[in-house]
Amino acid sequence: MGSQGKKSPSNKSDLPDIATAIGPLLAEIAKEHQPLFVAIAERMAATRYRLWAKEAALASYRGRLLGCADREEDIASRIEGLVPESDAVQRQLHKQFPNLQELNNQIFAEWSLQDQLTIQARGERLGAATWRSFAAQADDQSAQATFAACAALEEASAEVLEEILGAIPFQ
């Protein structure tokens, strides 16, 4: 996945916004299934973290990036555990949005490694806010606690990315 030849925006506000990309899709989904849709996105993020962990420029952060991947998988598993028949619902969501992986890839395509990490860090902060919103709307205390725990996991990954962005002199 090398980052050579990738573009960098003139202004960080020019970067793609995950909320803008997936927000309209999320709005099409029944409220009770929205967390499962986000769980699908969490698994996609885990894959992305594993790819970044192979980047030479990020070699010293490999373990921490793999930790982020594990957190993304943990979030998805926790959410899937809240919903009976979560596999069937997620299969239906994949059918409803067959280009979801392509959309996810397009958000990060053509951007430098630094910009990809910035996009993801913003996405992690958005994810934390999203899980908190789900927690505020949940009637069940167990679901509230699960959503709150997911928000904390998202923030931990955002902090890793922000640390990397502050430590590596990207070109």
Structural domains of the chain, ranges and CATH numbers in brackets: 17-167 (1.20.1260)
pLDDT of residue 2: 45
Per-residue pLDDT for 8 more than 70? no
Residue where the block lists tokens 């430590």: 167
Instruction: Determine what percent of the chain is predicted with pLDDT higher than 90.
Output: 89
Alpha carbon of residue 141 to chain centroid: 24
Rounded to whole angstroms, the Cα distance separating 88 from 23 reads: 22
Rounded to whole angstroms, the Cα distance separating 22 from 103 reads: 9
pLDDT of residue 6: 67
DSSP per-residue string spanning 3-16: -TT-B--SSGGGS-
* Residue 66 Ramachandran class (φ > 0 left, ψ -120 to 50 alpha, else beta): alpha
Give, in degrees to the nearest 5, the angle at Cα 85 between 79 and 91.
85
Q: State the amino acid at position 149 in one-letter form.
A: A
Q: What is the dihedral of CA 157, 160, 163, 169, to 10 degrees?
A: -110
The per-residue pLDDT for range 16-75, each reduced to its tens digit, is: 999 999 999 999 999 999 999 999 999 999 999 999 999 999 999 999 999 999 999 999
Q: Which two tokens stand for residue 9?
A: 């925006």
Phi–psi pair at 111, nearest 5 degrees: -100, 150
pLDDT of residue 7: 66
Shortest CA distance to 153 belongs to which of 125, 112, 118?
125
- Reported as a pLDDT band with limits 50, 70 and 90, residue 13 is confident
The per-residue pLDDT for range 85-119, each reduced to its tens digit, is: 999 999 999 999 999 999 999 999 999 999 999 99
Rounded to whole angstroms, the Cα distance separating 98 from 141 reads: 33
- Reported as a pLDDT band with limits 50, 70 and 90, residue 11 is low
DSSP 7: B
- Reported as a pLDDT band with limits 50, 70 and 90, residue 170 is confident
What mean pLDDT do residues 1-28 have? 76
